[in-house]
Amino acid sequence: MGPYRLEGRLGGGGMGQVFLGRSPGGRLVAVKLVRPELADDPGFRRRFALEAEAARRVGGFYTAQLVDADPDADPPWLVTAYIPGPSLHQAVEAHGPMPPEAISVLGAGLAEGLGAIHACGLVHRDLKPSNVILAADGPRVIDFGITRALDATSHTLSRAVIGTPSFMSPEQARGHEIGPASDVFSLGLVLAFAATARSPFGTGPAEAIVYRVAHDDPDLTGLPAHLADLVKRCLAKTPGNRPSVTDILGQLTDFTQATTQWLPPPIATMITERQVHTPPTPALTPPSDPGTHRSGTTPDALEHAPATDPSGDTEQHPDEPDQGPSDGIHTPSRRRLPRRLFLAGGLAALSAAAAPIGWDYWSHRNRLTGEDLYTVAFSPDGRTIAGGNISGDGWLWATDSHDVITDFSSANSDNSALAFTPDGSALVTAGMREPLSFRDPSTARVTISLASPLGSAQTMAFSADGSQLVVAGNIPIGNLEAPEICIVWDVKAQKLKHTMPFASRASSGVNSAAFIDNDSLILAGGNLTEGSTNGFWRWNLPSGELKPMGPDGWGSAVAVSPHGKQYALGGAHGCSLTSAQGTAPRVISNAHVDALAFSPDGATLAVADKDGIRLRDAATGRTKTTITDRRASTLAFHPDGRFLVSGGWFVDGKGGWLWPLNDT
């Protein structure tokens, strides 16, 4: 790309794809190519050029320098210094919370890096653990400066907010103008994550997290004493009450002066491994003309190369065997694992072929993607899997080969809910302030687009006969007043039949919905009516009556068995089963549930909770099989029960997997 030779794909994010490259002089660099739909926007190119020029001026010891960019290229690209080290996200995921001394060095380095960014008139806007690289001589802030160009484009399209829910500021959540103080809030969240391995505002749907960021106090339990007060001040709701990066640096300096080896040995080893396995510098060859690749390798040829984005967008899971691609790129052959280049956060190493037996093998071999997955579905004939996320990414995979048939993006960067029509004639998608899009099930091209009053789509489901479609959601990011939280469509007439308005400011909206019959639905959520604490409701469509039907507290998931005789309710209370006859819910698990799915014959219930995914006997509730200890936020059975597909966006369950069930 320009004078840079591309050597492997590192990953992808909201702006585009990232490749490992070499400069004409042989230095390793990270090359980011902008997504085509962004490149087609002249306004984006102008902002990209301005922000890239500003980012070039950012110096200092704790940032990854922007060394080159071409906003006029097709596609536009930028090049940053390459840092052979894990992201903070990867390090904490692999080894748990960092010690207090290391967090002090981390905080001081990040404060100094942010100070250099702010001095050039920039705001990072997306500081998070995956945008912090850990090097032997201190942390580095990456992906700064350019987010504003993407942010402005997204606002033009949809008034969406760019940022990561668990690490954004209250003013970001509300869609307000932001400044350096917003980065200080994010820094406080990053330090809390490093110290506790969790977000101070908890987990759950993105919209619920954003609501807590804007309104609730953070949970700072477990923070070291010398950091607790500092982090608390960083997390002040009012920007003017937060410390400056200079104040933060001054407070942490006393704890960092005597520190030489700043990282604990296990994380230091991660850095050493990346340095040892970095590809050697090749013999110098004359540079080619700009716009050509000296090696002849094109981005398209590298698009499916296994690797990991150093920004943390696609990451290796530490408990998976290091036997090949762990970034979520599927393995095309089921017979053996090919010998392929493996790049983990900058790590480049050849991995030998291996084929262990058991679930760990399938976890590795049948991983569909390493990107966040908020929703998954099988086509009625079982040949295709669809998946999407809140970043606007969408995919169709072939079930048998696991190959990507096509990928697609939504107009406004959100594909958080999708479903196939029962007759297989269309794939329907929706998201935050998205139209309801009917897509060709083979190509994912939009054939029908219907304007929707829904603030943010979190879930959708068809009635058994396909005549009705329910779409429901939560409070949309950047607009805490949603016009509607649940709507039902007449599919044939393409008209709204029923709507449920946003009733309570304390409401977390609807997280999951399923038809009982054509006249009633089960909804999971929180505080759907003023003053209520129920997590599950039965919505009678003809009368509009909402009737509580399950345990109190957060409701995450509901499922109705194929024969309609049994219901599963999952949430903060755990998992419970009830019947169409109205029997009292019977709790079969106490762990917080994230997703549920009945098998096609109704005999098995798949339950995803904080401990992983288990298949349970639908009659007794007893565990039949443990699929994995990874978390999942969405589940779907193959129409004939041969497979279970899971997707997630959690730290310990990010990506999508296809699990074979014939041996279970």
Does the structure show a pLDDT above 70 at 242? Answer: yes
The rounded mean pLDDT for the chain is 78
Show the tokens assigned to 302.
Answer: 């590298």
Tally the residues of the chain. 664
Active site residue 126: yes
Show the tokens assigned to 617.
Answer: 């006997």
For range 215-233, the mean pLDDT: 92
> Which pLDDT value is given to residue 649?
78
> CA-CA distance, 495 to 326, in Å (whole number)?
44
DSSP class of 288: -
> Which pLDDT value is given to residue 618?
94
> CA-CA distance, 366 to 138, in Å (whole number)?
36
> Which pLDDT value is given to residue 256?
60
Query: Which among 550, 455, 469, 464 has a CA at the least distance from the CA of 510?
Result: 455
Does the structure show a pLDDT above 50 at 348? Answer: no
Beginning with the edge strand found earlier in the chain, give each strand of the sheet holding 484-490 in spatial order.
457-462, 468-473, 484-490, 495-501
Range with lowest mean pLDDT among 11-25, 281-295, 362-376: 281-295
Maximal CA-CA distance, the chain? 78
User: Which residues are annotated binding-site positions for ATP?
Assistant: 32
Q: What is the dihedral of CA 135, 138, 139, 141, to 10 degrees?
A: -100
Q: Where does the pLDDT of residue 389 fall: very low under 50, low under 70, confident under 90, or very high at 90 and above? A: confident
Report yes or no: 234 and 248 within 8 Å, Cβ to Cβ.
yes
> Which pLDDT value is given to residue 322?
30
Show the tokens assigned to 641.
Answer: 């029960």
> Which pLDDT value is given to residue 557?
94
104-126 confidence digits (pLDDT tens):
999 999 999 999 888 888 888 88
> CA-CA distance, 477 to 371, in Å (whole number)?
20
Residues 6+ apart with CB under 8 A from 357: none
> Which pLDDT value is given to residue 122?
85
Give the number of other Cβ atoms within 10 Å of residue 406's Cβ: 13
165-205 confidence digits (pLDDT tens):
889 999 988 878 889 999 999 999 999 999 999 999 987 76
Query: Which among 207, 166, 215 has a CA at the least distance from the CA of 509?
Result: 207
> Which pLDDT value is given to residue 445?
94
Q: Is 274 helix (H, G, I), strand (E, B) or coil?
A: helix
User: What distance, in Å, lies between the first and last C-alpha atoms of the chain?
Assistant: 48
Q: Where does the pLDDT of residue 372 fall: very low under 50, low under 70, confident under 90, or very high at 90 and above? A: confident
Question: Which H or E run contains 110?
Answer: helix 100-119
Show the tokens assigned to 112.
Answer: 């100094």
Report yes or no: 166 and 189 within 8 Å, Cβ to Cβ.
yes
Look-up of token digits 């606002």: 155
Q: Which of 68, 72, 126, 407 is catalytic?
A: 126
Does the structure show a pLDDT above 80 at 586? Answer: yes
> Which pLDDT value is given to residue 236?
96
> Which pLDDT value is given to residue 416?
86
> Which pLDDT value is given to residue 164?
77
Q: Where does the pLDDT of residue 345 fall: very low under 50, low under 70, confident under 90, or very high at 90 and above? A: very low
319-334 confidence digits (pLDDT tens):
332 323 222 222 222 2
> CA-CA distance, 6 to 309, in Å (whole number)?
14
> Which pLDDT value is given to residue 338?
27
Query: Which among 664, 613, 655, 652 has a CA at the least distance from the CA of 397?
Result: 655
Range with lowest mean pLDDT among 89-93, 174-178, 266-270, 657-661: 174-178
Show the tokens assigned to 623.
Answer: 């565990």
Could you tell me how far CA 303 lies from the centroid of its own chain? 20
> Which pLDDT value is given to residue 529?
61
Share of the chain above pLDDT 90, in %: 39
> CA-CA distance, 485 to 471, in Å (whole number)?
8
Report yes or no: 374 and 338 within 8 Å, Cβ to Cβ.
no
List, as one string, the DSSP characters of 281-339.
PPPP-----TTS-TT---HHHHTT-----TTSSS---TTS-SSS--SSPPPS-SS----
Range with lowest mean pLDDT among 279-293, 383-397, 405-419, 525-539: 279-293
Share of the chain above pLDDT 70, in %: 75
Report yes or no: 378 and 638 within 8 Å, Cβ to Cβ.
yes
> CA-CA distance, 98 to 104, in Å (whole number)?
10
587-640 confidence digits (pLDDT tens):
998 888 999 999 999 999 999 998 889 999 999 999 999 998 888 999 999 999
Beta-bridge mates of residue 522 = 514, 538
> Which pLDDT value is given to residue 229?
95
515-572 confidence digits (pLDDT tens):
999 999 999 886 666 656 678 989 999 998 888 887 777 788 999 999 898 999 998 8
Q: Where does the pLDDT of residue 288 fall: very low under 50, low under 70, confident under 90, or very high at 90 and above? A: very low
Range with lowest mean pLDDT among 58-67, 271-280, 448-457: 271-280
Q: Where does the pLDDT of residue 255 fall: very low under 50, low under 70, confident under 90, or very high at 90 and above? A: low
> CA-CA distance, 375 to 646, in Å (whole number)?
9
Alpha helices in 503-649 (DSSP H): none
> Which pLDDT value is given to residue 57?
79
How many helices and strands, by DSSP H and E, does the chain display?
13, 37
- List, as own/partner pairs, every contact residues 424-429 make where C-beta atoms lie below 8 angstroms and the sequence separation is at least 24, other chains included: 424/379, 424/380, 424/381, 427/377, 427/379, 427/386, 427/396, 428/460, 428/469, 429/388, 429/394
For range 232-236, the mean pLDDT: 97
> CA-CA distance, 303 to 320, in Å (whole number)?
23
Does the structure show a pLDDT above 70 at 425? Answer: yes
Q: Where does the pLDDT of residue 415 fall: very low under 50, low under 70, confident under 90, or very high at 90 and above? A: confident
> Which pLDDT value is given to residue 575?
94
Residues 6+ apart with CB under 8 A from 582: none
> CA-CA distance, 170 to 384, in Å (whole number)?
40
Q: Where does the pLDDT of residue 285 fall: very low under 50, low under 70, confident under 90, or very high at 90 and above? A: very low
> CA-CA distance, 268 to 493, in Å (whole number)?
61
Query: Which among 157, 42, 646, 89 has a CA at the least distance from the CA of 414?
Result: 157
**613: region left, alpha or beta (phi > 0 left; psi from -120 to 50 alpha):** beta
> Which pLDDT value is given to residue 354?
26
> CA-CA distance, 397 to 399, in Å (whole number)?
6
> CA-CA distance, 399 to 379, in Å (whole number)?
10
> Which pLDDT value is given to residue 562?
94
